[in-house]
Amino acid sequence: MSERALRGTRLGATSYETDRGIDLAPRQTVEYACTNGHRFEVPFSVEAEIPTVWECRFCGSEALLLDGDEPEEKKAKPARTHWDMLMERRTREELEEVLAERLAVLRSGGMNIAVHPRDNRKSA
């Protein structure tokens, strides 16, 4: 091809290859239905594991595989709070002891709490 034939063709953005003479992998079409009544088909390879849940292409909600098993419920792991992690490391008695020690230091004035420089400004 000459340079003139490729000028202005967005070379790189468009593929000039064709599907002629290529054997595609065997496929199967699977049908899904969402809770809003939309039904659609998705092509999969014959060897692929078919998911029981797929996102609806019309509304984005969860669509279930028609004529398939119900999806397995995932066990939800409860969120670990700061208190939960603290209780993994210390007993309640140890925490009460540490609290009593820190309160005693605060009450005796033994902690030198630095004053932030912005707090010393005179109010206008």
Q: Which residues are annotated as a binding site for Zn(2+)?
A: 34, 38, 56, 59
In three state form, how does the secondary structure of 11-63 look? ECCECCCCCCCCCCCCEEEEEEEECCCCEEEEEEECCCCCCCEEECCCCCCEE
Known binding-site residues equal 34, 38, 56, 59
